[in-house]
Amino acid sequence: MHQNLFKKYRFSSQASRKNQKLFSYSYHSPGSIQGTLRIPQKVSQPRITLIDYDDNHYLKIDDISLEKCHPYLQTDSVSWIDIGGVSDANTFQAIGETFRLHPLILEDVANVPQRPKIEEQQDQLLIITQMVMLKPNHPGFWLEQVSLVLSAHYLLTVQEESEADCFGRIRDRLSLNQGLMRHQGADFLAYALWDAVIDGFFPVLETLGDRLEDLEDKVVVAPTPATLTEIHQIKRELLALRRAIWPQRDALNTLIRDGHPLVREDVKRYLRDCYDHTVMIIDVIETYRELASGLMDVYLSAVSNRMNEVMQLLTVISTIFIPLTFIAGIYGMNFNTEKSPWNMPELNWPLGYLFCLGIMGAITSYLLLFFRRKGWLKISNFH
C-alpha cells in the first residue's frame, strides 16, 4: 500500500499548521514491488506540451497526445516534452512505455515528493528538483517537485502541478531565438530549466527578508503573541527551503564532479554557475534562520523587560500608598478624646482633616520626586 502523505507544500502566514507539513515523504509499505505507481486519481488529466526546435525552426504544440510526441523523439532536433500534473497512473504507465523509462525512474517521477537528486539509468539521466513559487498577491509560497529526464535529443519534464511554473522566460527565449538556447542541445536546455528552478528561490528569500525586517520593528516596539506566531512561521518556511535547496547542491556537485555522457563539458561550466547560486541561497537561508532565532530571543527578552517594568511601576504605586494607608489606618482607630487629651487630639482640630490630607500629599510628592531622581518612573512605550 502506497502512502502519499501530501501533494504540495503550501506556506502562508495565515494558513493553519495542518496544511504546512514539512517532514512528509511518499513511501511504500515494506515489501512492496519496486516501481509500483500509486497516484491518487483526479478529474483533470496531465497537460502535455511539446516544443521542438533547432537552429532553423521552432514548433510548439499544446495539449498534444503521447502518440503524436513519439515521432519527434527520433529526430536530431531537440524536443522538450513538458507534462504538468501528477494525477493519472494510466497516463504515466504510457509515458514510461513511450520514453522507455526504467521502472525506478518512473516511480521517482510519479510518486511525489522525492528528495532532490540525480539518477543514471542506461542512456538517460534523471534530475529531481524542488521548485519554489511565490503566491500571487500573497506573502506565502509553495514548493513542488519538478522531474527532468534527459536523453540525447529530448528532455522530458514532469511537474507535480500544472498551475504555474518558472519556465516562462525560457519558453520566450526559445520562441524568439534569443541567446544560445536554439543553438545548443538537450543538456543545455536541462541546465537552463534547472537554473530557473534555483533562481526561483531568490524572490522568495527577498520576500522573507522583508518580513523579517518588519518583524524586527514589531519585536522591539510592540511584541504580541501574533508576532511570536509569525516568527515560528518564518522559521518553518526557512526550514522547508533549506530542505529543498541543500540536496540540489549535492546533486549539482555530483554531476559536475563525476560528469555524464549526456552532459558536455561546456555545459558543466554553466552548471558550476548553478552550483554557486545554490551556495548563495544556502548562505542566505542560514543567515535568515539565525536572524529568526535571534528575533525569538529578542521577543522573549522584550516580553520579560516589559513584565519587569510593569512590576516596577506597580511596586512604585504600592510604595506610595504604604504610608498613606498607614496614616489612614491610624486615624481610623477612633479613640475617645474625652477620656484623655492624648487620644488623637487632632480629631477636634478645626483643620484636622486638611492637615491630614496635606501630610499625605507631602509624602506622595516626596516619594514621586525621589523615584523620579532614581529613574524608576521611566517606562518604555509598549502598546
Any idea which of 29-38, 199-208, 296-305, 349-358 has the lowest mean pLDDT?
29-38
What pLDDT was estimated at residue 12?
52
> Where is the domain boundary, 126, 160, 179?
179
pTM equals 0.75
- Is 48 within a domain? yes
Instruction: Report the number of distinct structural domains present in the chain.
Output: 2
CATH number at residue 158: 3.30.460.20
Instruction: Grade residue 3 by pLDDT with cuts at 50, 70 and 90.
Output: very low
What pLDDT was estimated at residue 382?
43
- Is 207 within a domain? no
The 8 Å CB, 24+ separation contacts for 369-376 are 371/316, 371/319, 376/312, 376/316
CATH number at residue 313: 1.20.58.340
Instruction: Report d(CA 132, CA 127) in Å as an integer.
Output: 16
- Is 333 within a domain? yes
Section 47-57 average pLDDT: 91
Range of the domain at 319: 309-374
Answer whether 274's CB lies under 8 Å from 191's CB. Answer: yes
pLDDT for residue 334 is more than 60: yes
**Phi then psi dihedrals of residue 27, to 5 deg:** -150, 165
pLDDT tens digits for range 266-299: 999 999 999 999 999 999 999 999 999 888 888 8
- Is 75 within a domain? yes
Residues 315 and 174 reside in one and the same domain: no
Instruction: Grade residue 17 by pLDDT with cuts at 50, 70 and 90.
Output: very low
- Is 63 within a domain? yes
pLDDT for residue 150 is more than 60: yes
Half-sphere exposure of 177 (CA within 13 A, CB side): 8
Section 64-74 average pLDDT: 88
Instruction: Grade residue 348 by pLDDT with cuts at 50, 70 and 90.
Output: confident
What pLDDT was estimated at residue 16?
41
Instruction: Grade residue 248 by pLDDT with cuts at 50, 70 and 90.
Output: very high
